[in-house]
Amino acid sequence: MPTSDDAAIKKVDGGDGQFFDAIARRYDLLNRIMSLGQDGYWRNKAVKSLELPEGGHFLDLATGTADLAIACAKRHRDARVTGLDPSAEMLAIGRDKVASATLSERVELVQGDAQALPFEDNSFDAVAISFGIRNVPDRRKALQEMNRVARPGGRIVILELSEPRRGLLASPARFYIHHVVPRIGSLLSGSKEYRYLQESIAAFPTADAFANLMREVGLTNVNARTLSFGAVNLFSAHAGH
């Protein structure tokens, strides 16, 4: 069932990538600055968790400008990669980056919705979504779709920002998320609605609650790992059908 922050997500993005179309040209810069340069490190952790077999096929949901898709293709030099995102502008930038990395033969980017994937059952050896699941209005449906298109036992990896709640750095980290991130986002993107980032992080379920949701849709061997003092959660599981 959609959660209380779904209306805010739909208001900001229209449910079809419009908000991300508007900030696409500055999206990579925003990520670098607001993550204090840690976003690449987090994505590499996700790629290392994929367990792709030789010649495997990987699906990257909410691929955006294709950073995770490119990182996977570089690490797994015999893999095929499909990236999907609702934002046409983000995908256009991603295709340029894929071409610059000379990966166009192995990396394909398509427009689509994580809640209704345009792929057959059991199509991929691994499926991931990085910094995107919190923006999906029906997360349960997206998880069900990930489970459906993954081959039995295929790896499911989810990387998502979180609001630190414990430890000495929790308080300053929350201040950064609540006050610094929205101002930087508004300044660099020219969009006052970038405050939604802070709100969506705060509204995202706890790691335990989200891991339970993953189990409820049939995923197995679910594991949740915190990175960077709780600023990010890395979830991993296997397709359970």
What residues form the annotated binding site? 65, 85, 113-114, 130
Which residues, 6 or more positions from 226, have their beta carbon under 8 angstroms from its beta carbon? 162, 207, 232, 233, 234
Alpha helices in the chain (DSSP H): 6-13, 18-23, 27-34, 39-48, 67-75, 88-100, 139-149, 170-175, 181-189, 196-203, 207-216
Name which of 161, 157, 159 is nearest 202 in CA terms: 161
User: Which residues, in sequence order, are bridge partners of residue 159?
Assistant: 130, 234
Three-state DSSP class for residue 30: helix
Indicate the angle between helix axes 67-75 and 88-100, nearest 10 degrees. Answer: 30
Tokens representing 99 are: 């071409």
User: Which residues, in sequence order, are bridge partners of residue 80?
Assistant: 57
Q: Cα dist. 187→8, 34, 102, 118, 193 in Å?
A: 21, 12, 33, 36, 11
Tokens representing 160 are: 């998502």
Numbered residues of the known binding site for S-adenosyl-L-methionine:
65, 85, 113-114, 130
37: left (phi over 0), alpha (psi -120 to 50) or beta: left
Calculate ∠ Cα 80-84-90, nearest 5°. 115
